[in-house]
Amino acid sequence: MPLEMVGRKLGMTQVFSESGDRVPVTIVRTGPCTVVQKKTAENDGYSAVQLGFEEIKESRLTRARKGHLDKAGVGPRRVLFEVRLPAEEVGALEVGQTIGCADAFQPGQQVDVTGTTKGRGFTGVVKRHGFPTRTSSHGTHEYFRHGGANGSGTFPGRVFPGLRMAGHYGDESCTILRLQVIKVDPERNLLFIRGAVPGSVNGLVRVRGAIR
C-alpha cells in the first residue's frame, strides 16, 4: 500500500518538457510530515502510522492533542492523519521521524490526489447537474432554467430519493486518479503535479501513490 502525505495546494503554473512542450502543473507543498504514532495488529487490530503536518502555536492545541503529541515527543501540529500500511513498513518507521516529499514520491510517478472542492452555495439544476436550458421562444414563459417534472402524480405518488434537484453544490471530498508527478523539489517539499487538483488555493489535499 502506498504511503500517503498531506500538503497544501499553492496554485497552478506551467513548465516545459525536454521536447519543448508546455505542461500545466499544480504545485503542492507536501510535507514534511512527522511520525506521531505507530499502530500494530497486536495492540490496535490493524497496522497503520499516524502522521502530523504543519507546525502551529502551542496555544492553538487542545489539552488532549497536546498530551498526545507530548507523549510522542513531537511539537504542535495542525493536522493529524492516519495511513494504513503493511506491518513491515510500519516497523521500518520510528516515532518522531520526519518524512519529506522526496521520500514518498518520484518524478514520473502516478498519484491520486484528494481534496475538498470549492463551495458554490445553493445552485440550480443547470449549474449543479448540467441540465439543458429551455428554449426562449414558442411560448416559454418564466421556465428557462427549471428542472421539469420530478415524478408521476398518482403512482407511486412521491419523489424518489436521489433525484437530481437544486441544492448545495461543491464543498465535498473529491479524488482525482492517476495524475503524473512532473517534478519533485525536496528542498522546499514541492510536488509539481500535471493537471488540476480539487480545492482552492491554500487548501489541504492528500496525495498518495496511485492504487490503480
pTM: 0.85
Over residues 119-142, the mean pLDDT reads 92
Summarize pLDDT for 139-196 with one digit per residue, the tens: 888 889 999 888 888 888 899 999 999 999 999 999 999 999 999 999 999 999 999 9
Indicate whether 174 and 127 sit together in one domain.
yes
Q: What is the CATH number of the domain that holds 9?
A: 2.40.30.10
Distance CA 72, CA 84 (A): 19
Indicate whether 115 and 204 sit together in one domain.
yes
Residue 7 is assigned to a structural domain of this protein: yes
Residue 193 is assigned to a structural domain of this protein: yes
For position 195, what pLDDT does the model report? 95
Residue 59 is assigned to a structural domain of this protein: yes
For position 152, what pLDDT does the model report? 85
Nearest Cα neighbor of 37 from 7, 2, 67 is: 67
For position 82, what pLDDT does the model report? 94
Indicate whether 16 and 91 sit together in one domain.
no
Indicate whether 181 and 83 sit together in one domain.
no
Residue 139 is assigned to a structural domain of this protein: no
Indicate whether 111 and 205 sit together in one domain.
yes
Indicate if the pLDDT at residue 129 is higher than 60. yes
Summarize pLDDT for 43-96 with one digit per residue, the tens: 999 999 999 999 999 999 999 999 999 999 999 999 999 999 999 999 889 999
Tally of domains in the chain: 2
Q: Please, what sign has the CA dihedral across residues 173, 175, 176, 180?
A: positive
Last residue of one domain, picked from the residues 99, 114, 143: 99
Parent domain of 42: 33-99
SS3 assignment for 142-205: CCCCCCCCCCCCCCCCCCCCCCCCCEEECCCEEEEEEEEEEEEECCCCEEEEECCCCCCCCCEE
Indicate whether 95 and 197 sit together in one domain.
no
For position 1, what pLDDT does the model report? 54
Indicate whether 7 and 53 sit together in one domain.
no
Indicate whether 74 and 20 sit together in one domain.
no
Residue 39 is assigned to a structural domain of this protein: yes
Residue 148 is assigned to a structural domain of this protein: no
Residue 61 to residues 50, 51, 77: CA-CA distances in angstroms?
17, 16, 8
Residue 92 is assigned to a structural domain of this protein: yes
Residue 21 to residues 3, 13, 17, 24: CA-CA distances in angstroms?
31, 14, 5, 10
Indicate whether 184 and 118 sit together in one domain.
yes
Q: What is the CATH number of the domain that holds 86?
A: 3.30.160.810
Spell out the residues 6+ positions from residue 63 whose beta carbon is closer than 8 angstroms to its own. none
Amino acid, single-letter form, for residue 191:
L
Indicate if the pLDDT at residue 99 is higher than 80. yes
Indicate whether 189 and 205 sit together in one domain.
yes
Spell out the residues 6+ positions from residue 13 whose beta carbon is closer than 8 angstroms to its own. 24, 25, 27
176 close to 184: Cβ distance less than 8 angstroms: no
Indicate whether 41 and 90 sit together in one domain.
yes
Indicate whether 107 and 21 sit together in one domain.
yes
